[in-house]
Structure 1
Amino acid sequence: MKAYLADEQRKHDPKMFLSSGAPQPNPEKPERIERLRDGAVRAGCEIIKPREFGLEPIAAVHTPEYIEFLQGIFSRWQRIDGASEEVIPNIHPLARQGRYPASAVGQAGYHMADTACPISADTWDSACWSAWSAVEAATSLLDGASAAYALCRPPGHHAFADVAGGFCFLNNSAIAAQHLLEGASRVAILDVDLHHGNGTQGIFYGRNDVLTVSIHADPVRFYPFFWGHADERGEGAGLGYNLNLPLPRKSADEAFLEALEAGIRRIEAYAPDALVIALGLDAFEGDPFGGLSVSTEGFARIGERIARIGLPAAIIQEGGYLCDALGDNLASFLGGYGMGAR
């Protein structure tokens, strides 16, 4: 399997975020790339740098207003007297309809859902290369590959069409799915991250050409809190095209695999032409976020079962944070996927 990775993704290196109101070291570190790259190599992947695809695939998912914000907000923020070193909002609107603020502070609140997506000098460039890695993986499927892995960092599934959040700026999984629609009539996204893919859900919530399925820790007491509940089914043309499968905290392999079977039944009923796997490894029992308890062997079983769906698949890296087993977990998933694809 080919794996796409751009070294430019390492430059995004915010130093802190706010958690429960307190400054904390940012856990979405460049070192994640080294651990994940090692796991991909051990799984037999060939590491390739993606091409630069420009704004077109990004703008197919994200609004021009938001793209302009991401491109310029860091330099504007530096002109504010006494501002923080990185862009972190201190205001969030209760409603986002109506007038658009002119100030950098107001726009940061408008376009950033929380304080866990700090923007530094290199965030925009790194996010673009992360997105282009996803586009390259999708392109390889359009060219006939059965599967490809995109080592995307920063991750993307919490980013809406015009809102960043949860370490995410550009929604790589959504960008890959949209790109696949150039050659597919229907695409399914299966999100197996610890956290609900709220941005991905939001982007496709009113559409029926992309089915969204997410398995995640129950948001009633877990991030992102306001999305990811089982009664969220889509709206308008998208009603019935969104499936959330929340799990109790500390759910382990068997519970996750049972939910996966439910998700796969929905995907098979949708009969898509291609699959995007939003691969979070933070459901691991030893991940710093500690929400679920999937084992390293469990990731192999998850990968093997997804592969048996038999669809061309773009595997897009989402979460999974620094712990000794991060690379092992990726190698386990990709190894299991390879077994199921045979």
Structure 2
Amino acid sequence: MKAIFDDRQWVHDPKHFMANGTRLANPEQPKRIEVLTEGAKEAGCRFEAPEDHGLGPIAALHSAEYLVFLQTIHERWSRIEGASDEVIPNIHPDRRTASYPRSAVGQAGFHQADTSCPIAAGTWEAAYWSAQSAVHGADLMAAGEQAAYVLSRPPGHHAFADLAGGFCFLNNSGIAAERLLKAGKRPAILDIDVHHGNGTQGIFYERGDVLTVSLHADPVRFYPFFWGHGHERGEGAGRGCNLNLPLARGTGDDEYLKTLETAFDHIRAFGTDVLVVALGLDAYEKDPLKGLAITTPGFGRIAAAIAKLGLPVLFVQEGGYLSEELGQNLTSFLKGFQDA
């Protein structure tokens, strides 16, 4: 299986994030690249670097205003006397239709949903190449590849069209799906990260041309809290094209696989001809963010079930944080898919 990654993705090195009012070490560390690379190679993946397709594929989903913000905010923030090294918001508007300020502090609050997406000097460059990796993967699928793995880091599924959040800045899985759509495909996104892909849902919620399906820990008491509930089905042209399958905290392999069958029913019914899997490995039973209880062999079983759909599949890395078994979980998943 081909794998895609660009070395410039290393330069995003966030130090902190806020959780429960406490400043903590950021778990979305560059070392994830090293561990995931080894896990992919162990599964037989052959890495290649992406081409630069410019801002077009990114701007197809994200607003120009937001892209200007991501490119310039760290330099502007750094000019504030006494400012922190990383851009972390401290005020947010009560609605997306609120007035747009000139202030760097105000714009940070407008474009960053939470305190889990600090922006440092290398963030834009890394996010740009993470997205380019996803574009390259989509192009491989459009050219006839049956499967490919994109090591997108930083991840993307919490990023809305003009809003970062949850360690995410550009919605890599959504960018890949949009690229495939423009290539004449009918894509669906299956998000198996432990957290609901709220940014992905938000981008496609009123559209009927991309199906979005997410299995995740029930957000009633789990991030992202406000999105990911079962009654959220899409609106307008997108009504019935968004499916959320929230799971009880601690759900293990067998129950997860049963729920996955419901996801597959919708993917088939949509007439999907290429599948983008937002591949979170943080559903693992020992992941530091603690939501579900998937085992290392369980990831292989999940991947084997996806393989039996018989569709071309692009795997785009989302979450999965540093634990002793992170690389093994990716190996188990990719081998499980290939063996099936």
User: What's the TM-score once normalised by structure 1's chain length?
Assistant: 0.98
Structure 2: runs of 5 or more not aligned: none
1: CA distance, partners of 2:324 / 2:260: 26
Written as runs of structure 1 = structure 2, the 5 A alignment for 1:45-194 is 45-194=45-194
Work out the CA distance in 2 between the residues paired with 1:263 and 1:184. 23
Deviation of residue 183 (structure 1)? 2.1
Q: Within 5 A, what are the aligned runs for 1:1-342?
A: 1-340=1-340
For 1:140-187, what per-residue CA distance to the aligned partner results, in whole angstroms no more than 9, with x for missing partners?
011110011000000000000000000000000000000001223421
Aligned to 1:181, the other structure's residue is in SS state helix
**Contact 1:184–1:273 (Cα < 8 Å) also in 2:** no
Q: Sequence identity, in percent?
A: 61
Per-residue CA deviation, residues 125-150 of structure 1 (Å, 9 max, x unaligned), is: 00011001111110001111001100
Q: Which residue type is aligned with residue 178 of structure 2? A: Q
d(CA) in 2 for partners of 1:35, 1:259: 29
Separation of aligned partners in 1, 2:198 and 2:119: 20
The alignment of Structure 1 onto Structure 2 pairs a total of residues equal to 340
Q: Residues of 1 paired with 2:15 and 2:265: CA distance? A: 42
> Structure 1: how far apart are the matches of 2:98 and 2:169?
23
Instruction: State the alpha-carbon separation in 2 of the partners of residues 216 and 184 from structure 1.
Output: 29
Q: Deviation per CA, 1:86-133: give whole Å up to 9, x if none.
A: 000000111121421110000000000000000000000000110011
Question: 1:112 is matched by which residue type in structure 2?
Answer: Q
Whole-Å separation in 2 of the counterparts to 1:63 and 1:220:
30
Q: Which runs of 4+ in 1 moved over 4 A?
A: none
Shift of residue 326 of structure 1?
0.4
Asked whether the 8 Å contact 1:230–1:243 carries over to 2, the reply is yes
Q: Find the residue that maps to 2:158 and give its secondary structure.
A: coil
Q: Is the 8 A contact 1:185 1:209 kept in 2?
A: no
RMSD between superposed Cα atoms in Å: 0.7
Find the aligned partners of 1:106 and 1:230 in 2 and give their Cα distance.
33
Listed one character per residue, the Cα deviations across residues 312-341 of structure 1 (whole Å, up to 9, x for unaligned) are: 11100000000010000000000011022x
> Secondary structure, in 3 states, of the residue corresponding to 1:136?
helix
Give SS of 2:182's match.
coil
SS at match of 2:258: helix
Query: Structure 1: where are the runs of 5+ without partners?
Result: none
With the length of structure 2 as denominator, give the TM-score of the two structures.
0.99
2: distance between equivalents of 1:285 and 1:105? 38
